[in-house]
Amino acid sequence: MGEERETGGPPGVAAGYQERPSRLAGAVLWTNTTRPLAGPVLPDGCTDLIWSEGRLLVAGPDTGPQDLHGVPPGTRFTGVRFPPGVGPAVFGVPAGELRDRRVPLADLWPAGRVREVTERAAAAGTPGGVVRVLERIAEVRLRRAAPPDGRTAEVAAALAAGRPVAEVARTVGLGERQLHRLSLDAFGYGPKTLARVLRLVRALGLARAGVGYAEVAVRAGYADQAHLAREVKALTGAPMSRLLTSG
């Protein structure tokens, strides 16, 4: 994939995971080959278009860990990960319909279109070729989609920065119930859940970079280290120390 780099990646898939930025704003192109005893894929607020074992799949936004224990070691996945709020334009359904799900793309798109993409991905030959096919398909879908609600990106950015939900609602000119409905359709979660997921992403990024847990708690927006520990366990099912060493 040219500029691929092996990264820490999602805990649990680190050993075989590579990614690079997409030309689609905010998206990431990635490959992963599962390893024995791989840990779970963790919530990140994103949706993915995935090619694996000759199949096209959609991964919705997660509220908890997705176990890889049933996936045979050596299974290769190639995908495009879309930032929070972009998935509905690509897949044509509200994000809430995909929450915590892995579904065949054929369940969402016309059979003829899926067959065409499948044939193109199969003919690409290499992971780099496959991911370029997926990126191109997503680019076309986004270009043809209805113009996005500009408030969606503003909400995601504000919640990612740790701003309170009530303040975010006022900023985008919505009541809290309206913001909740917008968030369910765009992100798959209500704004409070999205804020928790994005705070978890911040915390894991800091911890992977070697920041101590007490400082992670402060910089990621937790009340204290105990709050960090509770939230990590609630959203991932495991303590931070295990997540950083899994995979």
pLDDT digits (tens, 9 = 90+) for 183-237: 999 999 999 999 999 999 999 999 999 999 999 999 999 999 999 999 999 999 9
The whole-angstrom separation of Cα 202 and Cα 137 is 30
The predicted pLDDT at position 246 comes to 67
Q: Element (H or E) spanning 245, and its range?
A: helix 240-245
The predicted pLDDT at position 73 comes to 82
CA angle in degrees (0–180, nearest 5) for 210-189-193: 45
The whole-angstrom separation of Cα 181 and Cα 242 is 35
pTM: 0.89
Domain boundaries, the chain: 5-144, 150-245
E-assigned strands of 66-155?
76-82, 102-104
The predicted pLDDT at position 38 comes to 67
Amino acid 36 reads P
pLDDT digits (tens, 9 = 90+) for 142-171: 999 988 788 999 999 999 999 999 999 999
Q: Which of the two residues, 17 and 53, has the higher pLDDT score?
A: 53
pLDDT tier at 13, thresholds 50, 70, 90: very low
Q: Does the pLDDT of residue 26 top 60, yes or no?
A: yes
- Looking at the domain 150-245, which fold is it? Arc Repressor Mutant, subunit A (1.10.10)
Determine contact, residues 108/91, Cβ cutoff 8 Å: yes
pLDDT digits (tens, 9 = 90+) for 76-104: 999 999 999 999 999 999 999 999 999 99
pLDDT tier at 125, thresholds 50, 70, 90: confident
